[in-house]
């Protein structure tokens, strides 16, 4: 009886701790059922959306662990990426060269914007999230002034296909990026099962090396080795089954962006184990204690914001090269909101986030985004309502998630009181 109660308590604590992803997994499942779409088509779309957005979502992790909350200021990083893309279009660069040069140009711009953002956030400690959100709106105004009036007016630019022309200053509403469309994506593509085997083998090799070279005989490392081996077996078995033939034909994985995402997933935990990463964790837990320990709190926070902004700039370039066009004046506007929503859905909070939560949240968010219009149409019988349903889902996610987290916090407090 005692063991049964303990098991029920463990299950209840697990549900309370993971209530947000559990709710959204159920909602996604219902959305898939009611949408009536082919699972292979849904999978293909989710792979494409994951490829575009994962980098941006992961860019939020380091500021969260440094105590800055959700950094809606990644909008500034997205702007840096867009400025760099504008410049490479003016230079008429093509393909992968354009993407690489744009990335190189965007990094110093993003560091500068991140530094300015960090200075401001250090003056508004305790209100970082609302500050970064308002900062994003302000920066968007400055960005629009530059692209509407300064370029082609104060700063002469000879680019007829990009500028408004006929003596007017300003950049066109949409910049054509077909010169670099799929520049990263088309380098190397594999079917979904070959990609699963490859990534399984990559992670198996990493965890096996940890075991052999670093003698890391922890339970977590053995579990990771087992999961990686299971993923490889699944890829081999499913890839040769007739049942999954359609998935193999339709779902192609662009390997270069996925490898970049995998490297970023490995970089973030490794970085957090360094001296600087540990300082960021210490600052995130308690700034007063960190300062007494000799950590330069303000400098550490600024570095965290700079890293986040640089990752956002690179993420926006990956995103736009996949789309093949850039909405000059509003491509950056919802970057912070959507990325924060995706991270929260994965189970992260404003004070704690992991790479796994970012990956899960990105998949769930874009799965929901894919199936909600058709599900709304089939449930309510109107395509327009389906579109409203999608917008409602996209903007309502953050509010629902924060409400669920507030409820979870209350429940955890009650649990703690019971124990004491």
Q: Is pLDDT above 80 for 384?
A: no
For the record, the structure tokens of 200 come out as 């399984």
pLDDT in tens, 59-88: 999 999 998 877 777 899 999 999 999 999
Q: Is pLDDT above 60 for 420?
A: no
pLDDT band of 385, cuts 50, 70, 90: low
- Non-local CB neighbours of 380 within 8 Å, separated by 6+ positions: 386, 389
For the chain, percent of residues with pLDDT exceeding 90: 31
The answer to whether position 1 is within a domain reads no
For the record, the structure tokens of 52 come out as 């575009």
pTM of the model: 0.88
Q: Which of 23-32, 71-80, 101-110, 281-290 has the highest mean pLDDT?
A: 101-110
Task: Say if CB 21 and CB 365 are below 8 A apart.
Answer: no
Long-range contacts of range 329-334, CB-CB < 8 Å, 24 or more positions apart? 329/144, 329/147, 329/148, 329/173, 331/78, 331/82, 332/75, 332/78, 332/79, 332/82, 332/140, 332/143, 333/75, 333/140
The distance of Cα 347 from the centroid of its chain, to the nearest Å, equals 13
pLDDT at 120: 94
The answer to whether position 391 is within a domain reads yes
The answer to whether position 9 is within a domain reads no
The answer to whether position 368 is within a domain reads yes
Q: Is pLDDT above 60 for 212?
A: yes
3-state SS assignment for residue 186: coil
Which residue would you say has higher pLDDT here, 267 or 351? 267
pLDDT at 6: 76
Which residue would you say has higher pLDDT here, 181 or 389? 181
Distance CA 62, CA 304 (A): 6
pLDDT band of 145, cuts 50, 70, 90: very high
Q: Which of 378, 394, 395 is nearest to 386 (CA)?
A: 378
Which residue range(s) make up the domain with 324?
A: 17-418
pLDDT at 244: 82
pLDDT at 395: 67
Residue showing tokens 């209100």: 127
Residue showing tokens 């894919």: 370
Distance CA 285, CA 281 (A): 6
Phi, psi of 189 (to 5 degrees): -125, 145
Taking residues 265-293, report their average pLDDT: 91
pLDDT in tens, 97-137: 999 999 999 999 999 999 999 999 999 888 888 888 899 89
pLDDT in tens, 36-53: 888 888 888 898 889 888
For the record, the structure tokens of 26 come out as 């159920």
Asked which of 152-156, 166-170, 184-188, 271-275 is least confident by mean pLDDT, the reply is: 166-170
Mean pLDDT of the chain: 85
The answer to whether position 2 is within a domain reads no
pLDDT in tens, 394-408: 667 667 766 766 676
- In total, the chain counts a number of residues equal to 420
HSE of 292 in the Cβ direction (CA atoms, 13 Å)?
A: 4
pLDDT band of 304, cuts 50, 70, 90: very high
pLDDT band of 346, cuts 50, 70, 90: confident
pLDDT band of 412, cuts 50, 70, 90: low
Categorise residue 184: left if φ over 0, alpha if ψ from -120 to 50, beta otherwise: alpha
The answer to whether position 89 is within a domain reads yes
Q: Which of 344, 347, 338 is nearest to 316 (CA)?
A: 338
Outline where DSSP puts E strands in 41-198.
Answer: 163-165, 168-171, 174-176, 189-191
- Non-local CB neighbours of 410 within 8 Å, separated by 6+ positions: none
pLDDT at 248: 80
The answer to whether position 33 is within a domain reads yes
pLDDT band of 303, cuts 50, 70, 90: very high
pLDDT in tens, 324-341: 889 988 888 878 878 888
Domain count, the chain: 1
Helices (H) and strands (E) in the chain, counts: 17, 6
The answer to whether position 11 is within a domain reads no
Task: Say if CB 62 and CB 308 are below 8 A apart.
Answer: yes
């Amino acid at each position: 009886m005692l063991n049964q109660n303990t098991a029920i308590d463990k299950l209840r604590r697990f549900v309370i701790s993971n209530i947000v992803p559990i709710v959204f997994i159920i909602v996604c499942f219902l959305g898939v059922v009611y949408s009536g779409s082919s699972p292979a088509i849904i999978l293909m779309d989710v792979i494409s959306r994951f490829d575009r957005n994962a980098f941006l979502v992961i860019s939020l992790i380091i500021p969260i662990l440094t105590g800055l909350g959700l950094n809606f200021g990644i909008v500034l990083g997205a702007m840096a990426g867009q400025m760099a893309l504008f410049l490479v279009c003016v230079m008429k660069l093509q393909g992968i060269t354009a993407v690489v040069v744009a990335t190189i140009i965007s990094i110093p711009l993003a560091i500068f914007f991140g530094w300015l953002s960090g200075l401001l956030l250090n003056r508004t400690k305790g209100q970082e999230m609302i500050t970064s959100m308002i900062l994003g709106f302000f920066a968007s105004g400055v960005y629009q002034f530059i692209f509407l009036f300064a370029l082609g007016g104060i700063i002469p630019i000879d680019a007829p296909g990009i500028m408004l022309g006929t003596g007017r200053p300003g950049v066109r509403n949409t910049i054509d990026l077909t010169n670099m469309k799929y520049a990263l994506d088309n380098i190397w593509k594999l079917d979904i099962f070959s990609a699963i085997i490859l990534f399984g083998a990559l992670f198996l090799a990493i965890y096996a090396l940890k075991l052999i070279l670093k003698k890391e005989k922890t339970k977590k490392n053995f579990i990771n080795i087992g999961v990686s081996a299971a993923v490889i077996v699944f890829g081999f078995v499913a890839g040769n089954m007739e049942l999954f033939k359609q998935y193999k034909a339709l779902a192609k994985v662009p390997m270069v962006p996925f490898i970049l995402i995998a490297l970023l997933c490995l970089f973030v935990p490794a970085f957090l184990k360094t001296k600087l990463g540990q300082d960021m964790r210490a600052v995130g837990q308690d700034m007063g204690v960190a300062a007494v320990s000799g950590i330069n709190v303000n400098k550490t926070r600024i570095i965290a914001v700079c890293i986040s902004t640089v990752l956002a700039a690179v993420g926006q370039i990956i995103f736009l090269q996949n789309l093949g066009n850039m909405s000059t004046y509003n491509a950056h506007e919802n970057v912070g909101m959507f990325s924060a929503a995706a991270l929260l859905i994965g189970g992260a909070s404003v004070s704690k986030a992991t790479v796994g939560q970012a990956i899960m949240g990105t998949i769930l968010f874009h799965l929901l985004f894919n199936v909600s219009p058709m599900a709304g149409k089939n449930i309510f019988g109107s395509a327009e309502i389906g579109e409203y349903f999608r917008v409602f889902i996209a903007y309502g996610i953050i509010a629902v998630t924060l409400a669920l987290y507030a409820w979870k916090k209350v429940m955890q407090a009650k649990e703690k009181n019971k124990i004491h």
